[in-house]
Structure 1
Amino acid sequence: MRYIKSVKTISFSLCLALFSQVTLAADDKTATTLDAKASFEQYIVKLKQEAISRGFEQTLIDESFANVVFHQRAVKADRNQPETVETLDTYLPKRLPDWKIKRARAKYKEHEALLIKVAAEYGVQPRFIVALWGLETNFGKIMGNYNVISALSTMAYEGRREAFFKKQLWAALQILKEGHIDSANMKGSWAGAMGQNQFMPTSFVGYAVDGDGDGKKDIWGNQADVFASMANYLKKEGWNDQLTWGRQVKLPSGFDTSLAIPNNTGGRKNWLKAWAKTEKTLAQWQALGVRRSDGTNLPKVDIKAALVFPDGAKGRAYLAYNNYKSLMHWNLSYYFVSSVGHLSDHIKFPPIQ
């Protein structure tokens, strides 16, 4: 009995100690949270002052920041982005399940008249517009529900990329100033990507267009504006509607893999330099033994292409045409571009061989 009593006594003492530690930890956490909140509020004051110095009117600033809040979830999402190691063989089936391919074809048919009109004006094949739309927001269904001013203010305050997110914030205020959307309905991702095409605010300023002539560039709810803005982006980045994006190819045994663009070029500018150094005509690639994925000869057309290995030299190989560069400007990711390309191929009737 004495042993049991001793254990009970010790347990009670431990409970008191643990309770004290938990209470102190909770108090520390509360204090930290309050300090962070106070600091964020002070940061917002400075942002408003800078916005004034940049020529934005006080009324616009007050309205835009009226309900601004700190989004801890956005900071967590930024710091804990997934680092799962995948290959295209595992990635593409998840990004392009059968239901998405079927929906992409259905959406193409549903909006065919508008897509053809946009294609004629901007010189971008409709299937690529639909593919981008489907992969960015599941055809407008998943656009993000963060208030963009709050999201950008949070990410600027977080500090790792303050200059970048402040630049986005000023662009967002410009969009509000021009009256394309109001601050309450300016929703997007935790990083501030907006609308059905997930434009960052600077991309909106640079590429968004009024597709139906109503005086607004509404990439959230106006399909004409969404499609035209996507097409305008690609057009401004050099899109050629006489070309496709690229094609998967087979390489001969012993092929010199140094002829491909290195995977670790370090940024868009260096990647483009590597492209310029390595691109060849299809005839030259044919002479080197490169063939279509089914083993047949490459097309006999006078165009250039670069060779890319999204998963390294032991993975898939692609000949990338100039339109590939436009898609890489949209998102500097071999996996993203491959997804867009393959989905666009599935949309085409009949599918590309």
Structure 2
Amino acid sequence: MSGAVMAADVEFDQYVEGLKQEAQQKGISQQVIDEAFADVTYKPRAVKADRNQPEKRLTLDEYIPRAAPAWKVKQARELYRQHHDELVTIGKQYGVQPRFIVALWGVESNFGKFTGGYSVIDALATMAYDGRREDFFRSEAMAALTILEQGHISASEMKGSWAGAMGQCQFMPSSFLAFAADGNGDGKKDIWGTEADVFASTANYLSKSGWDDNFTWGRQVKLPKGFDLSIQGRDKDKAKTLSEWSALGVTRYDGSPLPKLTNDIDAWLIAPDDENGRVYLVYNNYNVLMKWNRSYYFALAVSHLADLIY
């Protein structure tokens, strides 16, 4: 082992001691601290993953078929039918259409198959020590310790992504504390292995973030020639009602008129790929999906998959 590597290990160990002290000050029990940090290891692969996130940008025409391929649509429909009664019950409780719960499950973790193999404590301690977003990851580490303190899972079973996103709905620890729900009434919030808890947690996140199950997410639309795209975007002042968009010549993608609602609804025009790519009118539910993940592409993949689940 080189001197530089040994020095880095010593520095990481010292950093972990600081995390332990902070946890003690925040009221985390010594037993939980000891268990959580017993085998804590610096994970250079996590830092590499953070710094080497893909820069090549796909168009929506390329991205959506990859994010929601035919096999995933088929699987989503099968799982929707398999869990139908449970999903309907949870959907009614939280005011969220079940197809969106299944779609998020599919896009986030391939229905629980890809949840990450990192120890969450390892990942968060590594990312905090790396320093690029230290305050964020240090705060998430304290949230992860709080989850262990509450007894929802053991430290050895708390697995997630290189960034510390956990379980089948890929919640960061702070999101877990804010939104995780006990879907089967056993007193635990197990987003790793209990599907009822995954569904309830997903629905609770959407509900508390402003979801309205009276509406869908939006639709792909067609613009008239010469349309002024400067009015696109999700800023509050760029919202117009469907009837106002219709008056500007916006139509459904097939060219038919936009729906006429008894109670008109605000919508925003978005063109993530520019005027030559796909264009959408989105409702507030789409804005809620953007709170989950601040990617236009992610929210459109979830929306597209949800539209194909029945």
With the length of structure 1 as denominator, give the TM-score of the two structures: 0.86
Q: Which amino acid aligns with 2:201?
A: S
Match of residue 247, structure 2, among 283, 287, 298: 287
> Could you say which residue in structure 2 is the equivalent of 1:259?
231
- What is residue 31 of structure 1 aligned with on the other side? 3
Distance 2:239 2:19 in 1: 46
The residue correspondences of 1:272-351 to structure 2 (distance < 5 A) are 274=235, 276-301=236-261, 302-348=264-310
* TM-fit CA distance, 1:190: 0.5
Amino acid at match of 2:289: L
- Aligned-residue CA RMSD in angstroms? 0.9
Letter in structure 2 aligned against 1:283: S
Runs of 4+ in 1 over 3 A off after TM superposition: none
- Residues 1:214 and 2:186 aligned together: yes
Please tell me the residue identity of whatever aligns with 1:234.
Answer: L
Equivalent residue, structure 2, for 1:161: 133
Q: Distance in 2 between matches of 1:235 and 1:175?
A: 22
Kindly provide the CA deviation profile for residues 161-196 of structure 1, in whole angstroms up to 9, marking residues without a partner as x: 000001100100100000000000000000000000
1:85 to 53, 57, 66: 57
Tell me the alpha carbon deviations over residues 195-218 of structure 1, each in whole angstroms, 9 at most, x when there is no partner: 000000000000001111111000
Q: State the distance in 2 between where 1:240 and 1:85 align.
A: 31
Aligned to 1:63: 35
AA at the equivalent of 2:301: S
Q: Which residue of 2 aligns with 1:267?
A: none
* 1:142 pairs with one of 79, 91, 114: 114
* Partners of 1:206 and 1:50 in 2: CA distance: 21
Q: Percent identity?
A: 59
**Highest relative contact order (Cα 8 Å, sep 6+), 1 or 2?**
2
Indicate whether 1:242 and 2:214 are aligned: yes
Between structure 1 and structure 2, the one with the greater Rg is 1
Q: Which runs of 5+ in 2 are unaligned?
A: none
1:48 aligned partner, one-letter code:
K
Could you give the per-residue CA deviations for residues 70-90 of structure 1, whole angstroms, max 9, x where no partner exists? 001000000111111210011
What pairs up with 1:163-182 in 2 under 5 angstroms? 163-182=135-154
Q: Which amino acid aligns with 1:53?
A: Q
Mark the runs of 5 or more structure 1 residues left unpaired by the alignment: 1-26, 262-270, 349-353
Name the SS of the counterpart of 1:347 in structure 2.
Answer: coil
Q: Which amino acid aligns with 1:287?
A: A
Question: How far is the alpha carbon of 1:60 from its aligned partner?
Answer: 1.4
The reply to whether residue 110 of structure 1 matches residue 82 of structure 2 is yes
Deviation at 1:31, TM superposition (A): 2.0
Tell me which amino acid in the other structure corresponds to 1:278.
Answer: K
Displacement of 1:121 in angstroms is: 0.3
Cα distance in structure 1, aligned partners of 2:139 and 2:17 = 17
Partners of 2:141 and 2:46 in 1: CA distance: 15
Match of 2:71 in 1: 99
Q: How many positions carry a matched residue from both structures?
A: 308
Report the CA distance between 1:96 and its aligned residue: 1.3
Name 2:173's counterpart in structure 1: 201
**Alpha-carbon distance between aligned partners in 2 of 1:82 and 1:258, rounded to the nearest angstrom:** 29
